[in-house]
Amino acid sequence: MKPSDINLLDPVTQEDPFACYEALLARAPVYFMPEINAYMVSSHAAIRHVVTQPAIWSIDFRAHPDAQLIKTPRARALLESEGFPRDTKLTTDPPAHTAYRAAVSKAFMPARVAAQKDFIADVVDALVAQLRQREGCEFMRDFAWTLPMRVVTRLLGVPAEDADRIKHWSDVWVEPLAYGLSEERELYVAQEEIALQKYLVAHMEAKLATPGEDILTELANAKMADGSPMPLAEKVGLAEHLIVGGHETATSALGSGMMILAQRPDIAAALRADPSRVERFVEEVLRLESPSAGFFRVAVQDAELEGVHIPAGSMVHLRFAAANRDASVFARPAELDLDRPNPRAHLAFSYGVHTCLGAPYARLELQVAFRALVQALDDIALDPSEPPPSHIPGLSLRTLKALHIRYLAR
Ligand code: HEM
């Protein structure tokens, strides 16, 4: 396969991109893709280099003409007039980034994560008990969407009953990541984002009167480095980021992990026999099916990556999903290997100053879930009466549309 034949905007390629990743890694680990007007960076070493040099490779690409996810002027004007422009200040560089990250980081301290363990186990047990009453399910709907959304609503400090509404808002929010939405659809996306923003503002106001140990309370009281209150638009942007970042990716990993178990009874048996291996299984799922497949940076100055000259102002697309199959780091990269010597060397959570804040929650959710699922269900297999599972089209995220499985309760 020639790199010039690869188009990662093509839904057929997105469904099974792995041969393309192999070709890019072997022949063009840094490669300009006109379809996205960016240099696609696939090699593990080059991505590690980029994410640790924020002074050269900025995450703040607001000014770049291709940066706007909501592209039509009418949809953007609607957001700006009735809500806030789509913006998260976590996509800034140090030193500004440090203050915004600090504003939400309390909720991610080890003690706060550990305190959610019983809650997560209770949600998992309740969902697994429902699955055991049947001999099959649509796993995305019946499990993978619910657990991360229950965790996100709890972290934010909003009622669990609102999970379905927030899930809807989050799904609509990510639609522009697929590129090419009609103006009509973008207007709908903007309307729903405004509704989400109003919901978040109302809850932050309520937190001032009735504080809790949660992220919306922290955001409601958040200050800038100089002690002034953080502007409302910025607080809302951070909360939106946490909802989408905390939910879509974990849902994706739960679905991918279950799809692997349904195709690999030997792996399910190994985890059942030795539950301590679930931690390694989770890392391999993240590596092989990286939920956050790629994200952008912009070159602040002329630079070079893997011998390729990159002019100042160019966008680069860091393809975490390809780097996670880089044979120079992972032997037999396409194989799920529970005995890998470097299980956490993957870049599924990125690395450097923007490394995923929610990784400890994601790991906890995934580990508790898969430990319980393999103990509760036997003979897990894809449902042969349903079409093979396929993914929601998109450049950045990799999530199954649906996952119909059969099993026997143990
Ligand atoms: C399997 C699940 C998850 C995956 C694969 C994932 C992946 C990522 C990646 C790749 C980045 C960095 C992007 C970059 O460097 O450009 C990131 C950042 C982030 N993630 Fe996650 N994430 C997951 C779960 C979560 C959860 C559960 C939360 C919150 C509850 C969360 C919150 C965040 C936040 C706030 C950032 C921005 C950090 C910053 O810019 O300083 N993520 N995530």
pLDDT tens track for 172-197: 998 887 767 899 999 999 999 999 99
Quickly tell me which residue has 């509704």 as its tokens: 195
Residue owning the nearest CA to atom 39 of ligand 1? 354
293 pocket-lining for ligand 1 (C-beta < 6 Å): no
153, two tokens? 């609503």
Regions of the chain where pLDDT drops below 50: none
Query: What's the pTM?
Result: 0.94
Pull the structure tokens for residue 3.
């790199």
Chain centroid to CA 408:
31
Instruction: Indicate whether residue 354 lines ligand 1 (CB < 6 A).
Output: yes
* 361, 383 Cβ separation under 8 angstroms: no
Q: What contacts 128, CB < 8 A, 6 or more positions away?
A: 372, 373, 376, 377
Report the distance separating Cα 112 and Cα 157, nearest Å.
13
Ligand 1 contacts CB of residue 90 (under 6 A): yes
Cβ count within 10 A of residue 308: 16
Quote the CA–CA distance of 99 and 246 in Å, as a whole number: 20
Residues 131, 136, 142, 143, CA torsion sign: positive
Q: What pLDDT score does 65 carry?
A: 65
Surface-to-core class of residue 312, CB atoms within 10 Å of its CB (0-12 exposed, 13-18 middle, 19+ buried):
exposed
Strand, coil or helix: 341 = coil
Distance 172 CA to ligand 1 centre (A): 19
Question: Going by CA atoms, what residue is nearest to atom 32 of ligand 1?
Answer: 358
Atom of ligand 1 nearest to the CA of 97: 41
Where do the domains of the chain lie, and which CATH numbers do they carry?
3-409 (1.10.630.10)
**Is residue 101 in contact with ligand 1, taking CB distance under 6 Å?**
yes
Q: Give the long-range contacts of residues 381-386, CB within 8 A, separation 24 or more.
A: 381/262, 381/265, 381/405, 381/406, 381/407, 382/259, 382/262, 382/263, 382/406, 383/136
Query: Is the minimum distance from the CB of 241 to ligand 1 under 6 angstroms?
Result: yes
Ligand 1 pocket residue status of 291, Cβ below 6 Å: yes
Distance 105 CA to ligand 1 centre (A): 12
What pLDDT shows up at residue 66?
Answer: 67
Predicted local confidence at residue 236, as pLDDT: 96
Quote the CA–CA distance of 138 and 405 in Å, as a whole number. 6
Give residue 196's pLDDT.
Answer: 98
- Residues constituting the chain: 410
The number of the ligand 1 atom at minimal distance from the alpha carbon of 148 is 27
Task: Name the residue of 101, 123, 356 to mutate for ligand 1: max ligand atoms within 8 A of Cβ.
Answer: 356
Half-sphere exposure of 163 (CA within 13 A, CB side): 16
